Amino acid sequence: MMNEAQSANGMTCEACTVMCQRFGRHRNGLRRYRCPQCQRTYTEPHSRVLDTMYISRDRAVLALQLLLEGNSIRSTERISGMDRNTIMSLIVKAGKKCQRLMDEKLREIPVRDVEVDEIWGYVFKKEAHKFKHEESNDQIGDAYCFVAMERSSKLVLAHYVGKRNTESTDQFIARLSLATSKDKYQLTSDGFGAYKPAVKSFLKKRVHFAQLVKVYASATDGEQRYSPPEVVDALPEVVMGNPDPDRICTSYIERQNLSIRMGMRRMTRLTNGFSKKWENLEAAYALWFAYYNWCRVHFSIRVTPCMEAKIEDHIWTIAELIA
């Protein structure tokens, strides 16, 4: 139980109005007190991490920092001393808070060049390994994260986790529409066909849209399993407006995909760190993109993407991110 009536030497019992005695510490490290008459116990005034968690803020920040630097949940458990279930609960709660932050802050951002792409992952098991009774369950199997990034500021404008289909593409482009201003800008994607109707529905007359269609060589023996096929050509295709041919590019968003796989253990290939629940993957993505936008200094621009985009004036800490 918490009590705001705290003196310099201890705490006073609310019921008996007598000075309480020290009674050990709470599991989050705060001092506890007990009334010598009614045996009622009190804890020093404090606020819970993410409103509900009993762990200290320093331990929460440490755990999130380890996860955002590519550690697995079990290695984070060994280093921080926190239980893995607590860590997973922390990811989900922090991810939801970060998603709300991005939904609030990333609105009508002026942009010039936007690149979009999808990165493949999976939840619980790969799509080809699903049993017959699991085929209709969209919460397991392949999970694609659609990502939109502004080329000059490196700001991640929008993302959406779903299947690689028309419905998910529509949801993603709708989020991008809310995140960008009404001023016209150039948009580049890969050759995925669902982008054309989605962009025409949600971004018509607002973008100069082009696709960079890659031509792949046929894989040699052994390559199709562990290596991507070789790209032999990339053909630009104008879809809408008048895009600048020199700016039809997806290199920056593809480099972002590499950062995701390096910074999120569950997205590292050929490991057992993959997500077991769809909710966990969505939260991990939201946490990563918020950290990338607000906290991580980008090497090429020397500031965070939010500072470069004039959204913030300082580098955030992880503690600020989850405050």
Is beta strand 207-216 parallel, antiparallel or unpaired with respect to 113-123?
Answer: unpaired
In this structure, the number of other CB atoms found within 10 A of the CB of residue 304 comes to 24
With respect to residue 69, please indicate whether it lies within any of the assigned structural domains.
no
Say if residue 126 is in the same domain as residue 261.
yes
What pLDDT digit, counting tens, does each position of 275-313 carry? 999 999 999 999 999 999 999 999 999 999 999 999 999
Return the amino acid letter for 202.
F
For the chain, what is the domain count?
2
Say if residue 261 is in the same domain as residue 123.
yes
Strands (E), the chain: 21-25, 31-34, 41-43, 113-123, 141-150, 156-162, 185-189, 207-216, 231-240
Say if residue 151 is in the same domain as residue 270.
yes
With respect to residue 298, please indicate whether it lies within any of the assigned structural domains.
no
What pLDDT digit, counting tens, does each position of 75-96 carry? 999 999 999 999 999 999 999 9
With respect to residue 120, please indicate whether it lies within any of the assigned structural domains.
yes
Say if residue 269 is in the same domain as residue 123.
yes
With respect to residue 161, please indicate whether it lies within any of the assigned structural domains.
yes
φ/ψ (deg, to 5) at 87: -65, -45
With respect to residue 83, please indicate whether it lies within any of the assigned structural domains.
no
The parent domain of residue 146 ranges over 109-276
Pick the closest to residue 194 from 162, 242, 226 (CA basis).
Answer: 162
Say if residue 113 is in the same domain as residue 6.
no
Say if residue 157 is in the same domain as residue 239.
yes
Say if residue 39 is in the same domain as residue 159.
no
Cα–Cα distance between 110 and 64 in angstroms, integer?
31
Say if residue 129 is in the same domain as residue 246.
yes
Say if residue 14 is in the same domain as residue 155.
no
186 burial via Cβ count (<10 Å: 0-12, 13-18, 19+): buried
What pLDDT digit, counting tens, does each position of 110-165 carry? 999 999 999 999 999 999 999 999 999 999 999 999 999 999 999 999 999 999 99
What is the pLDDT at residue 9? 57
With respect to residue 66, please indicate whether it lies within any of the assigned structural domains.
no
The CATH number of whichever domain residue 261 belongs to comes to 3.30.420.10
In the structure encoding, which two tokens stand for residue 298, read together?
């980008």
In the structure encoding, which two tokens stand for residue 130, read together?
């699903």
Say if residue 243 is in the same domain as residue 147.
yes
Say if residue 256 is in the same domain as residue 148.
yes
Identify the band that residue 225 occupies on the pLDDT scale cut at 50, 70 and 90.
low
With respect to residue 131, please indicate whether it lies within any of the assigned structural domains.
yes
Cα–Cα distance between 220 and 229 in angstroms, integer?
9
With respect to residue 113, please indicate whether it lies within any of the assigned structural domains.
yes
Say if residue 119 is in the same domain as residue 240.
yes
